[in-house]
Amino acid sequence: DGGITQSPKYLFRKEGQNVTLSCEQNLNHDAMYWYRQDPGQGLRLIYYSQIVNDFQKGDIAEGYSVSREKKESFPLTVTSAQKNPTAFYLCASSKSGDSPNEQFFGPGTRLTVL
Amino acid sequence: GDSVTQMEGPVTLSEEAFLTINCTYTATGYPSLFWYVQYPGEGLQLLLKATKADDKGSNKGFEATYRKETTSFHLEKGSVQVSDSAVYFCALRLMDSSYKLIFGSGTRLLVRP
């Protein structure tokens, strides 16, 4: 079945450490997105990529980095510069183009900084 | 700027009650509108969508109509079930080249037997 996988589901990190969250999709989608969700709040866009080897900052990119070397993969690195990294991270993908193509979401990774 | 405003929750209903979750938006042009649902500990699932004025999206008994004159996209269901308990997000898709989604803050629905 086609879909989006994120790993791991739970992740613990010590302060000062970088950590990389995985996101893989087999939907053949061109566009991929990373969101952050805090308790009781909506989703905020961190980074997005519309094509391989290209990505753009979202609304809250500071302290995060991404790469898009393959169409299927869009890993997110949470660096030590991110001041408050504990959150639920969601990856999504969509077709690109002018059609109102919906975004499909992965199951999420919950990151806790100890 | 572009934004989505949802009614604050939680919304608590008894099973078989009528549901309305209000959503209004501010945007330039004619955005596409979506409702997503999030069950505890999971990612978001698309519930329904509408792409132009007066379109009605529907799925699993839920409905929402794109009202341009009132810039609204209210979610309704005639008879809720316990299994509908979740967080519901209204979102709009920007029609610029980014195709980004702008989300509301979410409304938690709790349905009691």
Question: Read out DSSP for B39-92?
Answer: -TTS-EEEEEEE-STT-EEEETTEEEE-BTTTTB--EEESS--GGG-EEEEEEE
Specify the pLDDT at position B28: 83
Distance CA A95, CA A101 (A): 6
Q: Is the pLDDT of residue B64 over 80?
A: yes
CA B60 to chain centre: 13
Confidence bin at B113 (pLDDT 50/70/90): very high
Specify the pLDDT at position B97: 67
Q: Is the pLDDT of residue A109 over 80?
A: yes
Confidence bin at A98 (pLDDT 50/70/90): low
B32 CB near a chain A CB, below 8 Å? Answer: yes
B98 CB near a chain A CB, below 8 Å? Answer: yes
Residue A67 and residue A54 in contact, taking contact as beta carbons nearer than 8 Å: no
CB contact under 8 A, A104 and B105: no
Torsion, Cα B99 A99 B45 B67, to 10 degrees, reads 90
Q: Choose the most confident range, by mean pLDDT, from A92-96, A99-103, B88-92, B96-100.
A: B88-92
- SS percent in chain B: helix, strand, coil, step 5: 5, 50, 45
Q: Which of B43, B45, B89 sits opposite A42 (nearest CB)?
A: B89
Min CA distance, A53 vs chain B (Å)?
A: 16
A54 CB near a chain B CB, below 8 Å? Answer: no
Q: If you average pLDDT over residues B6-32, what whole number do you get?
A: 93
Q: Which of A33, A90, A100 sits opposite B51 (nearest CB)?
A: A100
- Both tokens assigned to A10: 């739970």
- What are A34-76's pLDDT values in tens digits? 999 998 778 999 999 999 999 999 999 999 999 999 999 999 9
The conformational region for residue A21 under phi > 0 = left, psi -120 to 50 = alpha, else beta, is: beta
Distance CA B6, CA B22 (A): 6
Distance CA B49, CA B75 (A): 11
B100 CB near a chain A CB, below 8 Å? Answer: yes
Q: Is the pLDDT of residue B111 over 90?
A: yes
CB contact under 8 A, A102 and B98: no
Residue B92: other Cβ atoms inside 10 A: 23
Q: Is the pLDDT of residue B96 over 90?
A: no
Closest residue in A to B98 (Cα–Cα):
A50
Residue B12 and residue B112 in contact, taking contact as beta carbons nearer than 8 Å: yes
Specify the pLDDT at position A1: 64
The C-alpha angle with vertex A65 and arms to B3 and A101, in degrees rounded to 5, equals 45
Q: Which of A41, A56, A106 sits opposite B43 (nearest CB)?
A: A106
Measured between beta carbons, which residues in chain A are less than 8 angstroms from residue B46? 102-104
Measured between beta carbons, which residues in chain A are less than 8 angstroms from residue B105? 40-42
Q: Is the pLDDT of residue A99 over 80?
A: no
B93 CB near a chain A CB, below 8 Å? Answer: yes
The residues with which A22 forms a beta bridge, in sequence order, are A7
